[in-house]
Chains A and B, each alone.
Chain A
């Protein structure tokens, strides 16, 4: 029988926390790209884009992330794709993140005064030029605080990937609990590590928000 010291538990959890960070980054970057694509499709007024994106957002915000993970896990397998937990978790979290980010960013674009659009139109700027030189830079400034704040949601969301067998912080906690029979200590450490990851980011997001409000 091997005895686990508190340091052993903490060290193993710390190692597993890497995969929480990596998965969060994949979901955040992937979700950002997909979300940006959806936002542009909406802004460019592609036929049907409006309804499609609205439905997409409704579905992903109105269903549990856990179910989305299960559907990605079992659904991709139906199409003969050999899914590892990595692929399923990456796909599900990317889609989930994109739905939230595209909605957040749409709010930011809507906050830009209409006169800016009209001014850009009257200069005969193309859609791309409008985005790059007029709307984009202004929207970006408003978008930073809520986007950073949403990163916390993504990190917490990755904890659900443990359910489909992705070994990250929460799954490692369960495995270590099964080996040590010390659930209280282990899950307290797991919670502490999540807190150490998330709290600085939420504090930073709040500070950005305050400085943004002062700057207006």
Chain B
């Protein structure tokens, strides 16, 4: 019958913990940068000049209709032939930012486009300039409206980062891989890594649901 030996895997807990921390770090950096890219592209799609909106549209469709693993391989294996050499970690972050940016752009755009007209008219009648109208009046409630979708997308990107182990970025799935190759307890190693991913997903979702209204879009709205 099946004999499972979780002890052999759990004995290597420092490697698993390091991997989980690495995944969390990758996700944090990508979420911040990807969020910024998303807001910029969302603005361009909703309010930007026509040529820019179209260019961003092409970027969004290209990313949303190709798999993350192919984007990662293209960046890590493809770009060096153009003279751009990247470490696995840097390639992972770039791929995650580019990926999240495209999805976030669509999410942010939906939020921006649902701004009531009266809000815009009110802001303009107060003689705010366009930058102030966007950053003070339009963006915070727009982010508030689409925050649940944004949180889900960040969790999806975190889960997708498991692929980064394939280019030897030292994240959680890579740690599981390493442990499995040391003691041949593949199933146990991956099962524990999977449980850790589930924990990370729940943690990130709770954290962002808590932090969003307090730090990202709530400050301006409650003032």
Task: Tally B residues with Cβ within 8 Å of A.
Answer: 39
In the complex, A183 has a CB within 8 A of chain B: yes
Q: CA A156 – CA B71 in complex, angstroms?
A: 11
Docked pose: A79 CA to B4 CA in angstroms: 11
Please classify the interface of chain A as helix (H, G, I), strand (E, B), loop, or mixed, using the class held by over half of its residues.
helix
B65 touches A170 (CB 8 A): no
Please indicate the chain A residues that have their CB under 8 angstroms from the CB of B163 in the complex: 64, 66, 160, 163
- The reply to whether B67 and A159 form a contact with Cβ atoms under 8 Å apart is yes
Bound CA–CA A159/B67 (angstroms): 7
B186 contacts across to A, CB distance below 8 A:
70, 74
Q: Which secondary structure characterizes the binding site on chain B?
A: helix
Q: Which one, B4, B81, B191, contacts A71 given CB within 8 A? A: B191
- Binary contact readout B2-42 vs A (1 if CB under 8 angstroms, 0 otherwise): 10100000000000000000000000000000000000000
Complex CA–CA separation, A162 to B73 (angstroms): 12
Query: Which of A159, A173, A188, A199 has the most chain B CB atoms inside 10 A of its CB?
Result: A159
A119 within 8 A of B: no
Determine whether A198 belongs to the interface, using a CB cutoff of 8 Å to chain B. Answer: yes
Select B73's contact among A58, A59, A182, A183, beta carbons within 8 Å.
A183
Q: Does the CB pair B166–A163 fall under 8 Å? A: yes
- A159-182 Cβ-contact flags toward B at 8 Å (1 or 0): 110110000001001100100001
Closest to B80 in A: A183
CB pair B193 A67 closer than 8 Å: yes
Measured between alpha carbons, how far is A174 from B73 in the docked complex, in Å? 9
Min Cβ gap B213→A in Å is 23
Task: Determine whether B92 belongs to the interface, using a CB cutoff of 8 Å to chain A.
Answer: no
The answer to whether A195 has its CB under 8 Å from any CB of chain B is yes
Q: Is B62 an interface residue (CB 8 A)?
A: yes
A67 touches B73 (CB 8 A): no
Binds A, one of B45-53, B109-117, B195-203, B214-222: B195-203
- Name which residue of chain B comes closest to A196, CB basis: B65
Q: Beta-carbon contacts of A76-108 to B below 8 Å, as 1s and 0s? A: 011100000000000000000000000000000
Looking at B4, B70, B71, B79, the one whose CB has the most chain A CB atoms below 10 A away is: B70
Contact A195 B66 (CB under 8 A): yes
A-facing mask of B60-97, CB < 8 A → 1, else 0? 01101111111101100111111000000000000000
Known: A62-B201, A64-B159, A64-B162. A187 touches B73 (CB 8 A): yes
Q: With a CB–CB cut-off of 8 A, which chain B residues contact A65? A: 159
**Nearest 4 Cβ contacts at the A-B interface:** A159-B67, A64-B162, A198-B65, A183-B77
A-B contact sample (14 more), CB < 8 A, given A194-B65, A195-B66: A62-B197, A63-B197, A64-B161, A67-B194, A75-B191, A78-B187, A156-B65, A159-B67, A162-B69, A163-B69, A183-B74, A190-B70, A191-B74, A202-B65
Q: Which residues of A contact B (CB under 8 A)?
A: 58-59, 62-68, 70-71, 74-75, 77-79, 152, 156-157, 159-160, 162-163, 170, 173-174, 177, 182-184, 186-188, 190-191, 194-195, 198-199, 202
The residues of B with any CB-CB pair to A shorter than 8 Å are 2, 4, 61-62, 64-71, 73-74, 77-82, 155, 159-163, 166, 173, 176, 186-187, 190-191, 193-194, 197-198, 201-202
